[in-house]
């Protein structure tokens, strides 16, 4: 039986998430797997994470502008480890994303411009995560992206002003929602888990004590495996349109 990501040809994979470090935390091992299979990966991060930092590693007087620049740098370094080919930031203010028509239009614009085969975002229905309440930006970007995919991205009647920008309708073949509590696809990504961890370590402003962080991440193996012989998975809710 073929794996759910056993595509016949190289795919353009567009990742749209809220913050720097979201791609790596949510699905970094899967993205590394895809990069090594020859697929082209592009990141769009809606904010630069200008409010998020670990107080044990970054000073409390770090300005939002300085933190934004730092997180740009960290994300580009992490993307290089993963194997992503491009990273773009929209630099909306961290914590204030709202899935309104303006954000939906911007998501349609990105989808039509990039013309991805595979689109990756996160599940807007996931109110709770491992760390407690799921960040509202995560839910907002997932909602905006899914609302952009259907019915707007492939229909010229939606946001006709985008046609004036030369952006013709486009529908991705598949949408992969990460950070979900209702997965229908589970990938064994044990082989690329070390790459995920290496990429996460690029986000120095977020992780605090490095050794404690490594231990915490390594403990996230499946229940049917052990610390000595760990197996790791990443889970998705996948919607296919062809």
pLDDT in tens, the chain (242 residues): 589 999 999 999 999 999 999 999 999 999 999 999 999 999 999 999 988 765 555 556 678 899 999 999 999 999 999 999 999 999 999 999 999 999 999 999 999 999 999 999 999 999 987 778 999 999 999 999 999 999 999 999 999 999 999 999 999 999 999 999 999 999 999 999 999 999 999 999 999 899 999 999 999 999 999 999 999 999 999 999 97
- Domain locations in the chain? 12-240
In which residue are the tokens 């002003």 written?
161
Closest-CA residue to 159 (of 114, 112, 118): 112
Spell out a b/e string for 40-79, using b for 16 or more CB atoms within 10 Å of the CB, else e: bbbbbbbbbbbebbeeeebeeeeeeeebbebbbebbbebb
- Alpha helices (H) in 115-203, listed in sequence order: 136-147, 193-200
Look over the chain and give the mean of its residue pLDDT values, rounded to a whole number. 94
Closest-CA residue to 175 (of 140, 142, 139): 142
pLDDT per residue over 101-113, tens digit each?
999 999 999 999 9
CATH of domain 12-240: 3.40.50.10320
Q: Pairing relation of β-strands 40-47 and 12-17? A: parallel
Spatial separation of the C-alpha atoms in residues 89 and 72, rounded to whole Å: 8
């Amino acid at each position: 039986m073929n794996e759910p990501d056993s595509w016949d040809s190289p795919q353009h994979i567009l990742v749209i998430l809220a913050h720097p470090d979201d791609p790596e935390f949510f699905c970094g091992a899967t993205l590394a797997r895809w990069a090594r299979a020859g697929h082209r990966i592009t990141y769009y991060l809606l904010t630069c994470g200008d409010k998020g930092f670990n107080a044990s590693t970054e000073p409390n007087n770090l300005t939002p502008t300085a933190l934004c620049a730092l997180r740009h740098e960290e994300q580009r370094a992490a993307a290089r480890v993963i194997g992503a080919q491009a990273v773009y930031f929209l630099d909306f203010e961290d914590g204030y994303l709202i899935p309104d028509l303006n954000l939906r239009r911007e998501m349609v614009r990105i989808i039509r411009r990039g013309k991805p085969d595979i689109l990756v975002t996160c599940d807007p229905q996931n109110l709770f995560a491992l760390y407690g309440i799921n960040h509202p930006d995560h839910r907002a970007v997932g909602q905006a992206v899914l609302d952009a995919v259907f019915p707007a991205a492939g229909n010229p009647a939606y946001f006709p002003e985008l046609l004036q920008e030369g952006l013709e309708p486009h529908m991705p073949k598949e949408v992969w929602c990460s950070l979900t509590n209702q997965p229908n696809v589970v990938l064994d990504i044990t082989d690329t888990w070390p790459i995920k961890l290496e990429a996460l370590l690029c986000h120095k402003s977020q992780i605090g004590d490095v050794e404690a962080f490594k231990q915490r991440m390594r403990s996230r193996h499946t229940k049917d495996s052990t610390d000595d012989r760990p197996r790791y998975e990443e889970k998705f809710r996948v919607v296919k349109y062809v």
